[in-house]
Amino acid sequence: MYIKPPQIQLLTAFESAARVNSFKKAATELSITASAVSQQIKQLEAYLDVQLFNRLTRRVELTEAGVAFQRVAENTLSTYRSGYSAFQQQFSKPTIRLSVIPFVAFELIIPNLHEFRQLHPDIDLRIETSMALIDFDKEPIDAALRFGDGNWNGVEKLIISDCQSALVASRSLLESRPINSLDDLASHTLIHTRSSEDDWQKVANNLGLSKIVGKNHLVMDSYLSAMKAAEEGLGIAIGLFPLNNKWVRMGRLVTVFEPIDISYKNYFVFRRNDRKQKQLACCFQWLKAKYQALEQE
Protein backbone atom coordinates (compact mmCIF):
# COMPACT_ATOMS: atom_id res chain seq x y z
CA MET A 1 0.00 0.00 0.00
CA TYR A 2 1.35 3.41 -0.99
CA ILE A 3 1.81 5.88 1.85
CA LYS A 4 2.55 9.50 1.00
CA PRO A 5 5.94 10.73 2.19
CA PRO A 6 6.01 13.51 4.80
CA GLN A 7 5.84 17.15 3.74
CA ILE A 8 9.17 18.28 2.33
CA GLN A 9 9.37 21.37 4.57
CA LEU A 10 9.70 19.03 7.58
CA LEU A 11 12.89 17.62 6.10
CA THR A 12 14.70 20.98 6.30
CA ALA A 13 14.48 21.22 10.09
CA PHE A 14 15.36 17.54 10.50
CA GLU A 15 18.37 17.68 8.16
CA SER A 16 19.76 20.76 9.89
CA ALA A 17 19.32 19.37 13.41
CA ALA A 18 20.79 16.01 12.36
CA ARG A 19 23.84 17.72 10.91
CA VAL A 20 24.61 19.93 13.93
CA ASN A 21 23.21 17.65 16.69
CA SER A 22 21.24 20.53 18.17
CA PHE A 23 17.73 21.96 17.82
CA LYS A 24 19.02 25.35 19.00
CA LYS A 25 21.83 25.55 16.42
CA ALA A 26 19.46 24.36 13.70
CA ALA A 27 17.04 27.11 14.69
CA THR A 28 19.80 29.73 14.36
CA GLU A 29 20.78 28.34 10.97
CA LEU A 30 17.18 28.41 9.73
CA SER A 31 16.31 31.76 11.39
CA ILE A 32 13.41 30.28 13.35
CA THR A 33 12.91 29.44 17.03
CA ALA A 34 14.19 26.27 18.69
CA SER A 35 10.65 25.40 19.69
CA ALA A 36 9.60 25.59 16.02
CA VAL A 37 12.38 23.16 15.10
CA SER A 38 11.36 20.83 17.92
CA GLN A 39 7.70 20.99 16.90
CA GLN A 40 8.46 20.17 13.24
CA ILE A 41 10.61 17.20 14.21
CA LYS A 42 7.90 15.91 16.56
CA GLN A 43 5.45 16.23 13.68
CA LEU A 44 7.83 14.31 11.42
CA GLU A 45 8.35 11.56 14.03
CA ALA A 46 4.59 11.25 14.53
CA TYR A 47 4.04 10.93 10.77
CA LEU A 48 6.80 8.31 10.40
CA ASP A 49 5.82 6.65 13.68
CA VAL A 50 9.48 6.32 14.72
CA GLN A 51 11.78 8.22 17.06
CA LEU A 52 14.46 10.05 15.06
CA PHE A 53 16.43 11.66 17.92
CA ASN A 54 17.46 10.78 21.44
CA ARG A 55 17.00 14.00 23.45
CA LEU A 56 20.00 14.47 25.76
CA THR A 57 20.69 17.26 28.26
CA ARG A 58 22.64 19.64 26.01
CA ARG A 59 22.34 18.04 22.61
CA VAL A 60 20.47 15.51 20.55
CA GLU A 61 21.73 12.46 18.71
CA LEU A 62 20.25 10.39 15.93
CA THR A 63 18.65 7.04 16.59
CA GLU A 64 19.23 4.16 14.20
CA ALA A 65 16.07 5.19 12.36
CA GLY A 66 17.28 8.79 12.40
CA VAL A 67 20.56 7.84 10.70
CA ALA A 68 18.66 5.99 7.97
CA PHE A 69 16.21 8.85 7.43
CA GLN A 70 19.05 11.40 7.37
CA ARG A 71 20.26 9.83 4.12
CA VAL A 72 16.76 10.16 2.68
CA ALA A 73 16.53 13.82 3.74
CA GLU A 74 19.99 14.72 2.43
CA ASN A 75 19.40 13.07 -0.95
CA THR A 76 15.97 14.68 -1.30
CA LEU A 77 17.15 18.19 -0.43
CA SER A 78 20.30 17.88 -2.54
CA THR A 79 18.23 16.89 -5.58
CA TYR A 80 15.82 19.74 -4.94
CA ARG A 81 18.59 22.35 -4.55
CA SER A 82 20.51 21.28 -7.65
CA GLY A 83 17.29 21.10 -9.66
CA TYR A 84 16.27 24.55 -8.51
CA SER A 85 19.70 25.92 -9.36
CA ALA A 86 19.42 24.57 -12.91
CA PHE A 87 15.91 25.98 -13.19
CA GLN A 88 17.05 29.39 -11.98
CA GLN A 89 19.95 29.48 -14.42
CA GLN A 90 17.62 28.60 -17.30
CA PHE A 91 14.88 31.11 -16.60
CA SER A 92 16.42 33.96 -14.59
CA LYS A 93 18.35 36.91 -16.00
CA PRO A 94 21.89 35.75 -16.95
CA THR A 95 24.63 37.33 -14.85
CA ILE A 96 27.98 38.32 -16.34
CA ARG A 97 30.69 39.11 -13.79
CA LEU A 98 33.30 41.30 -15.47
CA SER A 99 36.67 42.06 -13.86
CA VAL A 100 38.37 45.32 -14.86
CA ILE A 101 41.07 47.57 -13.45
CA PRO A 102 39.68 50.49 -11.40
CA PHE A 103 40.62 53.09 -14.05
CA VAL A 104 38.54 51.34 -16.72
CA ALA A 105 35.63 50.88 -14.31
CA PHE A 106 35.47 54.51 -13.20
CA GLU A 107 36.40 56.21 -16.46
CA LEU A 108 34.76 54.04 -19.10
CA ILE A 109 32.27 51.44 -17.88
CA ILE A 110 30.37 53.01 -14.98
CA PRO A 111 29.65 56.30 -16.82
CA ASN A 112 28.19 54.28 -19.70
CA LEU A 113 26.57 51.43 -17.78
CA HIS A 114 23.09 52.91 -18.24
CA GLU A 115 23.59 52.57 -22.00
CA PHE A 116 24.47 48.88 -21.69
CA ARG A 117 21.38 48.26 -19.57
CA GLN A 118 19.18 49.96 -22.15
CA LEU A 119 20.71 47.90 -24.96
CA HIS A 120 20.70 44.62 -23.04
CA PRO A 121 18.05 44.67 -20.27
CA ASP A 122 18.17 40.87 -20.17
CA ILE A 123 21.82 40.82 -18.97
CA ASP A 124 22.84 41.51 -15.39
CA LEU A 125 26.35 42.97 -15.87
CA ARG A 126 28.29 43.13 -12.60
CA ILE A 127 31.59 44.99 -12.40
CA GLU A 128 34.41 43.87 -10.12
CA THR A 129 37.65 45.83 -9.92
CA SER A 130 41.06 44.23 -9.62
CA MET A 131 44.62 44.75 -10.83
CA ALA A 132 45.47 41.06 -10.58
CA LEU A 133 45.18 38.40 -13.25
CA ILE A 134 42.06 36.28 -12.82
CA ASP A 135 42.16 32.54 -12.13
CA PHE A 136 38.93 31.50 -13.82
CA ASP A 137 39.10 28.07 -12.20
CA LYS A 138 39.01 29.52 -8.69
CA GLU A 139 37.09 32.80 -8.97
CA PRO A 140 33.44 33.33 -9.96
CA ILE A 141 34.37 35.65 -12.85
CA ASP A 142 32.98 35.21 -16.36
CA ALA A 143 35.22 37.66 -18.21
CA ALA A 144 37.94 40.27 -17.70
CA LEU A 145 39.41 43.25 -19.51
CA ARG A 146 43.18 42.91 -19.42
CA PHE A 147 46.20 44.64 -20.92
CA GLY A 148 49.12 42.48 -22.01
CA ASP A 149 50.66 40.26 -24.67
CA GLY A 150 47.73 37.82 -24.72
CA ASN A 151 49.95 34.91 -23.74
CA TRP A 152 47.54 33.40 -21.22
CA ASN A 153 46.79 29.69 -21.26
CA GLY A 154 43.44 28.07 -20.64
CA VAL A 155 41.26 31.06 -21.54
CA GLU A 156 39.57 32.49 -24.59
CA LYS A 157 40.62 35.99 -25.61
CA LEU A 158 39.51 38.60 -28.13
CA ILE A 159 41.30 41.85 -29.00
CA ILE A 160 39.45 44.92 -27.80
CA SER A 161 41.93 47.47 -29.17
CA ASP A 162 45.54 48.11 -30.05
CA CYS A 163 47.47 50.14 -27.54
CA GLN A 164 49.93 53.01 -27.46
CA SER A 165 52.08 54.25 -24.63
CA ALA A 166 53.39 57.70 -23.72
CA LEU A 167 54.86 59.44 -20.70
CA VAL A 168 52.34 61.75 -19.05
CA ALA A 169 52.54 64.46 -16.41
CA SER A 170 50.75 67.57 -15.18
CA ARG A 171 51.17 70.76 -17.19
CA SER A 172 52.39 72.65 -14.12
CA LEU A 173 55.16 70.10 -13.48
CA LEU A 174 56.40 70.28 -17.07
CA GLU A 175 56.35 74.06 -17.01
CA SER A 176 58.51 74.13 -13.89
CA ARG A 177 60.85 71.35 -15.03
CA PRO A 178 60.62 70.82 -18.81
CA ILE A 179 61.48 67.51 -20.40
CA ASN A 180 63.12 67.76 -23.81
CA SER A 181 64.87 64.39 -23.81
CA LEU A 182 64.89 61.18 -21.82
CA ASP A 183 67.96 62.42 -19.97
CA ASP A 184 65.81 65.10 -18.34
CA LEU A 185 63.90 62.35 -16.49
CA ALA A 186 66.87 62.15 -14.13
CA SER A 187 65.50 65.21 -12.32
CA HIS A 188 61.96 63.79 -11.98
CA THR A 189 60.13 61.22 -9.87
CA LEU A 190 59.12 58.15 -11.87
CA ILE A 191 55.66 56.87 -10.95
CA HIS A 192 55.17 53.10 -11.03
CA THR A 193 51.77 51.49 -11.50
CA ARG A 194 52.45 48.50 -9.24
CA SER A 195 55.30 46.86 -7.38
CA SER A 196 54.97 43.41 -8.94
CA GLU A 197 56.76 44.40 -12.14
CA ASP A 198 58.98 47.23 -13.34
CA ASP A 199 56.90 49.08 -15.92
CA TRP A 200 59.68 51.64 -16.50
CA GLN A 201 62.04 48.84 -17.48
CA LYS A 202 59.55 47.84 -20.17
CA VAL A 203 59.64 51.39 -21.51
CA ALA A 204 63.43 51.26 -21.54
CA ASN A 205 63.34 47.95 -23.41
CA ASN A 206 60.92 49.37 -26.02
CA LEU A 207 63.33 52.29 -26.56
CA GLY A 208 66.39 50.05 -26.76
CA LEU A 209 67.85 51.38 -23.51
CA SER A 210 69.33 49.43 -20.61
CA LYS A 211 67.35 51.48 -18.07
CA ILE A 212 65.73 54.85 -17.43
CA VAL A 213 67.14 56.83 -14.53
CA GLY A 214 64.88 58.95 -12.32
CA LYS A 215 65.55 61.13 -9.30
CA ASN A 216 63.02 59.23 -7.16
CA HIS A 217 60.46 56.44 -7.51
CA LEU A 218 56.83 56.47 -6.41
CA VAL A 219 55.03 53.11 -6.44
CA MET A 220 51.22 53.12 -6.58
CA ASP A 221 48.84 50.19 -6.19
CA SER A 222 46.83 50.72 -9.37
CA TYR A 223 46.84 52.44 -12.73
CA LEU A 224 44.16 54.87 -11.51
CA SER A 225 46.32 55.86 -8.53
CA ALA A 226 49.32 56.38 -10.80
CA MET A 227 47.34 58.67 -13.11
CA LYS A 228 45.98 60.65 -10.16
CA ALA A 229 49.51 61.03 -8.78
CA ALA A 230 50.71 62.33 -12.14
CA GLU A 231 47.74 64.72 -12.33
CA GLU A 232 48.72 66.12 -8.91
CA GLY A 233 52.24 66.85 -10.17
CA LEU A 234 53.96 64.14 -8.12
CA GLY A 235 55.99 62.82 -11.03
CA ILE A 236 56.01 61.28 -14.50
CA ALA A 237 53.77 58.27 -15.23
CA ILE A 238 53.38 55.86 -18.12
CA GLY A 239 50.03 56.48 -19.80
CA LEU A 240 48.17 54.02 -22.00
CA PHE A 241 46.15 55.12 -24.99
CA PRO A 242 43.33 55.26 -25.97
CA LEU A 243 42.49 54.94 -22.25
CA ASN A 244 44.05 58.33 -21.43
CA ASN A 245 42.70 60.24 -24.44
CA LYS A 246 39.96 61.90 -22.37
CA TRP A 247 42.33 62.99 -19.61
CA VAL A 248 44.67 64.57 -22.16
CA ARG A 249 41.79 66.25 -24.02
CA MET A 250 40.50 67.70 -20.74
CA GLY A 251 43.96 68.94 -19.77
CA ARG A 252 44.23 66.72 -16.72
CA LEU A 253 47.45 65.26 -18.15
CA VAL A 254 49.91 66.26 -20.86
CA THR A 255 51.90 63.82 -22.98
CA VAL A 256 55.65 64.30 -22.64
CA PHE A 257 56.42 62.72 -26.01
CA GLU A 258 54.12 61.47 -28.77
CA PRO A 259 52.46 58.09 -28.04
CA ILE A 260 54.20 55.12 -29.63
CA ASP A 261 52.76 51.76 -30.68
CA ILE A 262 53.54 48.86 -28.36
CA SER A 263 53.12 45.12 -28.73
CA TYR A 264 50.68 44.85 -25.83
CA LYS A 265 46.95 45.11 -26.52
CA ASN A 266 43.69 45.39 -24.61
CA TYR A 267 41.95 41.99 -24.46
CA PHE A 268 38.54 40.66 -23.54
CA VAL A 269 39.43 37.47 -21.69
CA PHE A 270 36.78 34.91 -20.79
CA ARG A 271 36.17 31.29 -19.99
CA ARG A 272 34.22 29.25 -22.49
CA ASN A 273 30.64 28.94 -21.31
CA ASP A 274 28.15 27.86 -23.95
CA ARG A 275 25.23 28.85 -21.76
CA LYS A 276 26.50 32.45 -21.54
CA GLN A 277 28.13 32.65 -24.96
CA LYS A 278 25.50 35.03 -26.33
CA GLN A 279 25.74 37.37 -23.33
CA LEU A 280 29.56 37.34 -23.43
CA ALA A 281 29.44 38.26 -27.12
CA CYS A 282 27.15 41.21 -26.31
CA CYS A 283 29.56 42.43 -23.63
CA PHE A 284 32.53 42.14 -25.97
CA GLN A 285 30.85 44.06 -28.78
CA TRP A 286 29.73 46.84 -26.44
CA LEU A 287 33.15 47.20 -24.83
CA LYS A 288 34.89 47.20 -28.19
CA ALA A 289 32.58 50.03 -29.32
CA LYS A 290 33.42 52.00 -26.16
CA TYR A 291 37.14 51.67 -26.86
CA GLN A 292 36.62 52.71 -30.49
CA ALA A 293 34.82 55.80 -29.21
CA LEU A 294 37.84 56.58 -27.03
CA GLU A 295 40.09 56.42 -30.08
CA GLN A 296 38.06 59.23 -31.66
CA GLU A 297 38.58 61.62 -28.74
Task: Report which DSSP code applies to 59.
Answer: -
Q: Is residue 1 part of a domain?
A: no
Residue 207 within any structural domain of the chain = yes
* Residue where a domain terminates, one of 91, 123, 142: 91
Largest CA distance in the chain: 96
177-206: pLDDT as tens digits: 999 988 999 999 999 987 667 788 888 887
Tens of pLDDT, residue by residue over 23-53, are 999 999 999 999 999 999 999 999 999 999 9
**What pLDDT sits at residue 86?**
74
Residue 56: CATH number of its domain: 1.10.10.10
What does the pLDDT look like over 131-156, one tens digit per residue?
Answer: 777 777 778 889 999 988 888 888 88
**Is there a single domain that holds both residue 133 and residue 61?**
no
Q: What is the CA radius of gyration of the chain?
A: 29
φ, ψ dihedrals at 261, nearest 5°: -70, 140
